[in-house]
A and B are shown apart, each in its own frame.
Chain A
Amino acid sequence: MALDSKIPQGPLADKWTNHKNEINLVNPANKRLIDVIVVGTGLAGGSAAATLAELGYNVKAFCFQDSPRRAHSIAAQGGINAAKNYQGDGDSTYRLFYDTVKGGDYRSREANVYRLAEVSANIIDQCVAQGVPFARDYGGLLDNRSFGGVLVSRTFYAKGQTGQQLLLGAYSAMNRQIGRGKIKMYNRHEMLDVVKVNGKARGIITRNLVTGEIERHSAHAVVLGTGGYGNVFYLSTNAMGSNVTAAWKAHKRGAYFANPCYTQIHPTCIPVSGDHQSKLTLMSESLRNDGRIWVPAKKEDAIAIREGRKKPTELTEEERDYYLERRYPAFGNLVPRDVASRAAKERCDAGFGVNKTGEAVYLDFASAIERYGKEEAYVKGLNADDKALVTELGAAVVKNKYGNLFQMYEKIVDQNPYKTPMMIYPAVHYTMGGLWVDYNLQTNVEGLYAIGEANFSDHGANRLGASALMQGLADGYFVLPYTIGDYLSHDIRTGPIPTDSPEFEEAEQNVRKQVDALINNNGTKAVDYFHKKLGKIMWNKCGMSRNATDLRSAIDEISALRDEFYKEVRVPGTQNEFNEELAKALRVADFLELGELFAKDALTRNESAGGHFREESVEEGGAQAGEAKRDDENFTFVSAWEYTGVPKDAILHKEQLEFENIELKQRSYK
């Protein structure tokens, strides 16, 4: 099947407006005759469900948590971008577009990113109208901050809990529609298959996680807002339940999986402390606005710190290496995530790491505390030379900005980050790959849509911070509700979709078989055993840096691990009850397939791009020496994989990326 991205004709800035004017609409009276399934109630799914219901469609929404309010989006910390130019620092739609395409290392679709930048300003208006309490300044106006990779202040935030506040906004919009009976909400339901009738997505099969019941649900269209798959690495910043199942099942039903190997490694996470660890905790990137990153300049100091003989606060400025400020003077601590992550790894690999395992660098707030403290002292007319007073005032300012993050850090590490620098290290965070979608956010399966982190569309090889929230809400509030109308306008006479067709029967049996097989498997090893093993392979061979030899062996190892899983896994309990091990086993089974495709995709892409650093593709000389090297001549495409039975045999389809408005340049943050 040829990939048609359906990008509208015309100048970039007019594409979305023209498209909206041209697509078919559904008459309000007819919307009542149409059902839409929305799987996932994070920012993307929640906003889509609320808006579709408000437009008049009958929405059935699903999530595996006990309430939509707990979707993984709740954890997003730092903020959401929008080209509002409230700060008057020169921001514009074009600049946000440009930064995002560049931040994505020129591997995203121009038209989509432009549309995202275009609707971004609306998102803020929308959320404020819903009662989202963004941070404000003393004049009562909205406040902004900066994120890595940009030179303007365009990030809107609510302390370190922006995702929570945005999600609660979408959740409240959903609540209004649930109260009106326009959304039927299915909590604790896991989607386990997509049902296709005559080539169109017409429903899903779910398992009620409390009773174990397998259910059929039909609709005229199915929207997946099921989030990302970072948990394929076992340890990541994602919530424990985040998984790839919905997207993977769609892939097995024909939807192409795009750019699976594009993972974002986040530079500021709390380092791993031991084998027991179940997840990694992110410290928002916004901390890099005020925190300075360093390691000891001398190896013996690093060793002394690791062995507990020295404290970081004992080192003078000269004894520290602020390596980001040194290497990238223009952006300093605010370089994009991939650059910051690689630089941290490089210093630690070279022996300068500062925690017991040697895999941590410092994020230091001492100078920010002093700077803010002095400022406050001046403003309040107090003695700016009183060190203790300045520290106290400064700490209060820092607390106001990042208080909950500091508290989180202190609880986990048992150290006070106001007094001693934080230790951080890169960790798997966000996945930029996902289901391939066209400009309308439809997958190559008719009637099957993917939004938010579940699709691949807007972010390319490395996205910048604060743009995932933006994309989720743009898709859900403003894009999908329009574009899906075009498709649904053909369904006003279809009537309700029956669930007793052979297609539903087949899909249900498919799910039953899988559940039965896992429950009745007489293995000896717990699900986590396999998940952890998979995670190790992924991190060591498909992680921050990759090479062909490792990737080839990863494919073999994952495939062998999958065989072992089906022989050796033990799932206690029964299927007709709440059984978390069973739910996990179903998810890990899919991770074991995705992991293989991931490695294969990484192997095919013999270039470094963003978070994906290919050891064979490094800039040799010149100003960029030692930095990742992209290969535009051979890899300016999206890889879209077609399932054929075994992931390593998947067929590659290429969507060539056209850059008409931005010149492709080597990314430089120097």
Chain B
Amino acid sequence: MKLTLKIWRQKNASAKGEMVTYPIDGIDGDMSFLEMMDVLNDELINKGEEPVVFDHDCREGICGSCSMFINGEAHGPDRLVTTCQLHMRKFKDGETITIEPFRAAGFPVVKDLMVDRSSFDRIQHAGGFISINTSGNTVDANATPIEKENADDAFAAATCIGCGACVASCKNSSAMLFVGAKVSQFALLPQGEVEATNRVLNMVKQMDEEGFGNCTNTGACEVECPKGISLENIARMNREYLAASLKG
């Protein structure tokens, strides 16, 4: 395949960025999108130019690192995948592909396509945990049976990879799907109940402080989420938040 890539290049957080066009040839459908980027970078290095920076690590859709905005969609045209799981067979010979970083106030650009998502970590520091000692004096794991349905729902919420696609695809740059997923996981488990009130209040407060926008129920996040995290989690968080606010 022969393609034309339009890629956002930006030297660092404070520099001005621009779209740069790169032609590329010899791309095969079995390559992942990131492997296509590797081919480009290899060519750039061989020409003595600087390669395009993008985040990546596991290359199997689980670490949540890779974060490109491709043709106007987080992680590109395929559903339920991250960029590293997107394959070139989804594109046509001769196509022009536009590649940009995730753009949101809460995710400042580090370089080229790489953004700083540490705001997600800070939201977790505010309450994304169960306050339990880690030195092993806990009760037997089967002492508290958990209804399979709740356990499955908690698991489904917990599979969020923290990629930020939900933020990037939201017109308000809201982080509600991400935060909702974490709040839900703990709200659904008996272990997390004790701290539920403080957790949701603190996490939502931190989320607001990080500069993420509000949710207006457009649902773009759910569509673009590579892990299929459902909007129900936002609803659950809102219920939790309301209940917590009433409790004060």
Contacts and interface: CB of A to CB of B under 8 A. Distances in A.
Q: Do A and B come from one complex?
A: yes
B150 to A, nearest CB: 9
Contact of B60 (A75, A127, A141): A75
A74 B191 CA distance: 22
A47 B134 contact: yes
A565 to B, nearest CB: 15
Contacts of B64: 69-70, 74
Interface in A248-284: 273-274, 276-279, 281-282
Chain A CB within 10 Å — which of B30, B49, B81, B134 has the most? B134
A426 B159 CA distance: 27
A493 B66 CA distance: 46
A276 B40 CA distance: 12
A185 B124 CA distance: 13
A65 interface: yes
Given A131-B186, A171-B124, A412-B85, A136 B146 contact: yes
A131 B59 contact: no
A176 B39 contact: no
B50 A573 contact: yes
Nearest to B121: A67
Contacts of A173: 129, 132, 134
Interface stretch (A9-17, A50-58, A642-650): A50-58
A180 B159 CA distance: 26
Given A75-B58, A130-B132, A133-B154, A138 B148 contact: yes
A570 B49 CA distance: 11
Nearest to B206: A179
A285 to B, nearest CB: 15
Chain A CB within 10 Å — which of B35, B48, B124, B126 has the most? B124
Contacts of B129: 130-131, 172-173, 175-176, 179
Contacts of B38: 276, 278, 528
B128 A175 contact: yes
A67 B122 CA distance: 10
Chain A contact residues (Cβ within 8 angstroms of B): what range? 35 or more
B125 A178 contact: yes
B138 A133 contact: no
B191 A128 contact: yes
Interface stretch (A386-394, A577-585, A630-638): A577-585
A581 B154 CA distance: 40
B63 A66 contact: no
A139 interface: yes
User: Which applies to chain B's interface (DSSP): helix, strand, loop or mixed?
Assistant: loop
A188 B93 CA distance: 37
Given A133-B154, A133-B185, A281-B60, A125 B136 contact: yes
Nearest to A400: B152
Given A133-B151, A276-B39, A50 B142 contact: no
B118 A477 contact: no
A70 B120 CA distance: 12
Nearest to B29: A414
Contact of A164 (B28, B62, B133): B62
B53 interface: yes
Nearest to B45: A526
Given A125-B141, A210-B110, A274-B30, A65 B65 contact: yes
A421 interface: no
A276 B31 contact: yes
A578 B148 contact: no
Interface in B139-183: 139-142, 144-148, 151-152, 154-155, 158-159, 161-162
A130 B60 CA distance: 26
B101 interface: no
Contact of B57 (A241, A407, A412, A477): A241
Given A276-B31, A276-B39, A477 B136 contact: yes
A239 B141 contact: no
Contact of A158 (B57, B127, B155): B155
A140 interface: yes
Contacts, number: 221
A126 B144 CA distance: 13
Chain B contact residues (Cβ within 8 angstroms of A): what range? 35 or more
B50 A572 contact: yes
Interface string A155-189: 00011010011001001110110110000010100
B158 A165 contact: yes
Nearest to B85: A411
B62 A75 contact: yes
A279 B59 contact: yes
A355 B35 CA distance: 21
A333 to B, nearest CB: 23
A276 B138 contact: no
Interface in B46-84: 46, 48-51, 53, 55-65, 78, 80-81
Contacts of B155: 133, 135, 158-159, 165
Contact of A129 (B50, B80, B139, B148): B139
Given A67-B117, A136-B151, A141-B145, A239 B136 contact: no
A140 B145 contact: yes
A134 B148 CA distance: 10
Given A477-B134, A526-B46, A136 B141 contact: no
B135 interface: yes
A249 B60 CA distance: 29
Contact of A187 (B118, B141, B186): B118
Given A51-B134, A124-B141, A131 B191 contact: yes
B89 interface: yes
Contacts of A158: 155, 158
A72 interface: yes
B162 A581 contact: no
A51 B58 CA distance: 26
A478 interface: yes
A412 B33 CA distance: 11
Chain A CB within 10 Å — which of B11, B136, B146, B159 has the most? B136
A168 B28 CA distance: 35
A278 B65 CA distance: 16
B135 A578 contact: no
Contacts of A124: 141
A126 B136 CA distance: 6
Nearest to B57: A239
Contacts of A477: 134-136
B63 A74 contact: yes
A65 B135 contact: no
A481 interface: yes
A122 interface: yes
Given A241-B57, A526-B46, A578-B111, A478 B30 contact: no
B12 interface: yes
Given A67-B162, A141-B145, A74 B124 contact: no
A121 B154 CA distance: 23
B213 to A, nearest CB: 22
Contacts of B132: 129-130, 173
A70 B189 contact: no
Contacts of A7: none
Nearest to B140: A125
Contacts of B95: none
A119 interface: yes
Interface of A: 47, 50-51, 54-55, 65-70, 72, 74-75, 84, 86, 119, 122, 124-131, 133-142, 158-159, 161, 164-165, 168, 171-173, 175-176, 178-179, 185, 187, 210, 239-241, 273-274, 276-279, 281-282, 407-408, 411-412, 414, 477-478, 481, 526, 528, 570, 572-573, 577-578, 580-581
Given A273-B30, A278-B59, 10 more contacts: A51-B135, A66-B55, A72-B57, A134-B141, A164-B62, A168-B158, A240-B58, A276-B38, A414-B30, A477-B135
19 contacts: A47-B134, A54-B133, A54-B135, A66-B117, A66-B118, A70-B63, A72-B57, A125-B139, A131-B186, A175-B129, A178-B125, A239-B59, A240-B59, A274-B31, A279-B60, A407-B80, A411-B81, A577-B12, A578-B110
Q: What are the 5 closest A-B residue pairs judged by CB atoms, nearest first? A: A140-B145, A172-B129, A133-B155, A128-B141, A179-B125
